[in-house]
Chain A
Amino acid sequence: MAENVLNKEMIKPENLVYTKTKVLTDNVMHYCPGCGHSTTHRVIAEVVEELGIQSEVLGVAPVGCSVFMYNYMDFDMQEAAHGRAPAVATGIKRLWPDKYVFSYQGDGDLAAIGTAETIHACNRGENIVMFFINNGIYGMTGGQMAPTTLEGMKSSTTPYGRDWMQMGHPLKITELVASLPGTYYVTRQAVHTPAYVRKLKRAVRKAFEYQPKKKGVSFIEVVSNCNSGWKMTPVQSIKWLDENMLDFYPLGDIKVPED
């Protein structure tokens, strides 16, 4: 491999401005090239490092592409059954009220099989952070329709495009949970451009900083790409996301604390 690093003289600790956080393990993430899961993992790990809560944070991974999240985060985590991460997180937080607890789920996990757990964790106002990666498809099982698959969007179970007459409408669960009094901070972010990643990081930091206030759920949706499920290259997928997902899933804060 040609060692083609330029400006080698600059490589000194005092000049370092960005590097991978130590809260991420050295394991190479299994996600497809360009997948938004890995970026979101990285942002969470960076915030955990910056807030110094590596010994205080407890995460709950879902079943889906991010089922192996715990291989990448160097802090205590639990694996939940499909759809049950909010319930697992509730059990942990109720019994460790001073720890920072978060659940992390894909769209099928959170908005299909786990809808009841999502609604009720939010309605109870559990003091946890709920991450929701919305890539409009079931990645791990090979690209089937998800509750958030857009109308007309192809998937392995909507090969002719999602027809709401038959398969129902894409579900805006984030707006739905925002209407529940138990949610304190609800926002929809993205990770496919540097600017969006920086915004997501601020949102994640706020969400964890809110948690000790015990004011309820901080709910962060991350609209993300799924190049293999969408059958595109990573660069094509983030372009497609920009042009198609963000109309139906507009980015920005949906509910911000008044106090």
Chain B
Amino acid sequence: MAKVKGTIVVDTEKCKGCEICVVSCPTHVISMSAEVNGKGYHFAYLNDADGCTGCTNCGVVCPDGVITVYRVKVS
């Protein structure tokens, strides 16, 4: 089965740091930033380039829809 890889783009200013994406990521590659955004929230980010499969779990569960997901088939 062709290997898939993905990445996420987080709208860091609109992320509220609820961390539900963190616990929903099957490969546990989302973490919360050390710094905070304009509202004072830590925000989510992808911490491992190879760990993301683009499964969209994080995007789908994000209450505020701040995560955009890309996926590529890698032969």
Q: Do A and B come into direct contact in the complex, CB within 8 Å?
A: yes
Task: Name A residues whose Cβ lies closer than 8 Å to a Cβ of B.
Answer: 1-2, 4-8, 10-12, 15-21, 24, 28-29, 31-39, 42, 191-194, 197-198, 227, 233-235, 238
CB-based contact A18/B18 at 8 Å: no
Q: How close is A98's CB to chain B, nearest CB, in angstroms?
A: 30
**B20 touching A235, Cβ below 8 Å:** yes
Known interface pairs A7-B5, A33-B16, A42-B63. Does A193 touch B68 (Cβ–Cβ under 8 Å)?
no
Interface residues of B in 34-55 (CB under 8 A from A): 35, 37, 41, 45-46, 48-49, 52, 54
Known A-B contacts A6-B49, A7-B52, A15-B72; A34 and B65 likewise in contact (beta carbons under 8 Å): no
Instruction: Please state if A194 and B24 are interface contacts (CB–CB under 8 Å).
Output: yes
B68 and A16 within 8 A (CB): yes
How would residues 64 to 75 of chain B score, 1 for a CB under 8 Å from any chain A CB and 0 otherwise? 111111111000
Given known A15-B72, A17-B70, A194-B61, contact A34–B20 (CB-CB < 8 A) = yes
Bound-state Cα–Cα, A233 to B41, Å: 13
Known: A6-B46, A7-B52, A10-B5. 16 other contacts (CB 8 A): A2-B35, A5-B8, A7-B6, A7-B46, A7-B70, A8-B7, A12-B70, A17-B54, A17-B70, A20-B66, A21-B65, A28-B14, A33-B18, A33-B63, A198-B60, A235-B22
Which chain A residue lies CB-closest to B21? Answer: A194
Contacts of B62 in A (CB 8 A): 39, 42
Residues from chain A with a CB closer than 8 A to the CB of B68 are 16, 18-20
**10 residue pairs bridging A and B, Cβ less than 8 Å apart:** A4-B45, A6-B48, A8-B7, A10-B70, A18-B56, A29-B63, A33-B41, A34-B19, A38-B63, A194-B57
- Compute how far the CA of A100 lies from the CA of B70 in the bound complex, rounded to whole angstroms: 32
CA distance A238 to B20 in the complex (A): 8
Interface of B is mostly: mixed
Which A residue's beta carbon lies closest to that of B71?
A17
Contact of B59 with A5 in the complex, beta carbons under 8 Å: no
Q: Which residues 1-36 in B have Cβ within 8 Å of A in the complex? A: 5-10, 12, 14, 16-20, 22-24, 33, 35
* Contact A11 B9, beta carbon cutoff 8 Å: yes
Residue of A nearest to B24 (CB): A194
Give the complex CA separation of A20 and B57 in angstroms: 13
Q: Which residues of B contact A42 (CB under 8 A)?
A: 62-65
Which residue of chain A has the shortest Cβ distance to B51 in the bound complex? A6
- The distance in angstroms between the C-alpha atoms of A24 and B52, with both chains bound, is 26
Chain A residues with CB below 8 A from B56, complex form: 17-18, 194
Q: Which residues of A contact B58 (CB under 8 A)?
A: 194
| Bound-state Cα–Cα, A8 to B75, Å | 18
User: Counting chain B CB atoms within 10 Å of each CB, which of A11, A17, A18, A233 scores highest?
Assistant: A18
Please judge, given known A-B contacts A2-B35, A5-B7, whether A34 and B63 are in contact too, CB under 8 Å: yes
Q: Across the interface, which residues of B come within 8 angstroms of A39, CB to CB?
A: 61-63
